[in-house]
């Protein structure tokens, strides 16, 4: 039986407890937003996905069966599926440019380099096949272990590790021009 810190809140949400649902949202919204943003490359789309995910929590909580998997693993699965759906709908449509915001960092040149590196990593991540992007996002950005990430993707741990290896190789190739700068992207690709 899987120990789940969210079980009580999910159970209460299933009974219609809005406070419990609100606590689940507060606990998991930032991670679901980050996951969706990395999968979709669009903050507005990420917000829509997060809303869809928590609407599903509200409507499906009464059907939750504790012990099968952690609630958070199921939540990641729902978010990944919502991202896949949106990605399928917009295939062939170019992604909008990332909004440029003024940077208040003390060293503008260093900040520019970091911003460019972050954009390069995000752009490279967006070019990966959906499943590789999902695996890397869950493990490297969401902090899930291989077992949890595999469960969220509904694949074996071996299949997850294969997706991670292929995704890392592809990122390393796409980001090799950053390797000389000691960029964090190179570290992700080597992980």
Count of residues in the chain: 191
Q: What is residue 96's predicted lDDT score, i.e. its pLDDT?
A: 47
CA triple 66-67-72, angle to 5 deg:
70
The CATH number of the domain where 38 resides is what?
A: 1.10.1740.10
φ, ψ for residue 29, nearest 5 deg: -60, -50
Q: What is the pLDDT along the chain (191 residues), one digit of tens a residue?
A: 567 889 899 999 999 999 999 999 999 999 999 999 999 989 999 999 999 999 999 998 888 777 777 889 889 999 999 999 888 887 654 444 434 445 454 455 555 556 677 788 888 888 999 999 999 999 988 888 999 899 889 999 999 999 999 999 998 898 887 765 554 544 554 45
* pLDDT score at 185: 47
pTM beyond 0.75: the answer is: no
Q: Hunting for tokens 């606590």 — which residue is that?
A: 23
Residues 149 and 183 in one domain: yes
Q: Where are the alpha helices (DSSP H) in 61-107?
A: 71-89
Going by C-alpha positions, the residue among 145, 163, 21 that lies closest to residue 73 is 145
How many whole angstroms separate alpha carbon 188 and alpha carbon 139?
Answer: 11
- Confidence (pLDDT) at 70: 85
Q: Supply the range of the domain harboring residue 74.
A: 1-90
Query: Is residue 54 in some structural domain?
Result: yes
Same domain, 134 and 181: yes
Residue 67 phi, psi dihedral angles, 5° rounding: 105, -25
Q: Both 84 and 17 in a single domain?
A: yes
pLDDT at 170: 92
Flag whether 78 is in a domain. yes
In this structure, is residue 171 part of a structural domain? yes
The CA-atom distances, in angstroms, between 54 and each of 8, 29, 63, 117, 190 are 16, 8, 14, 32, 34
Report the CATH number that the domain containing residue 138 is assigned in CATH. 1.10.10.10
Q: 112 and 189, same structural domain? A: yes
SS3 state of residue 6:
coil
């Amino acid at each position: 039986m899987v120990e789940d810190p969210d079980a009580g809140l999910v159970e209460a949400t299933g009974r219609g407890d809005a406070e419990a649902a609100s606590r689940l949202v507060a606990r998991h919204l930032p991670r679901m937003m980050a996951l969706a943003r990395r999968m979709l490359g669009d903050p507005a789309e990420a917000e829509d996905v997060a809303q869809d995910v928590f609407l599903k929590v509200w409507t499906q909580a009464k059907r939750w069966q504790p012990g099968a998997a952690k609630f958070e693993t199921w939540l990641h699965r729902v978010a990944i599926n919502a991202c896949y759906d949106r990605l399928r709908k917009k295939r062939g449509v170019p992604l909008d440019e990332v909004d440029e915001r003024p940077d208040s960092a003390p060293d503008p040149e260093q900040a520019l380099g970091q911003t460019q590196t972050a954009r390069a990593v995000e752009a490279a991540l967006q070019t990966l096949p959906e499943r590789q992007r999902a695996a890397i996002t869950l493990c490297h950005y969401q902090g899930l272990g291989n077992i949890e990430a595999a469960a969220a993707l509904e694949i074996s741990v071996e299949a997850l590790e294969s997706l991670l290896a292929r995704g890392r190789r592809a990122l390393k190739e796409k980001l090799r021009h950053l390797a000389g700068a000691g960029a964090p992207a190179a570290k992700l690709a080597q992980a």
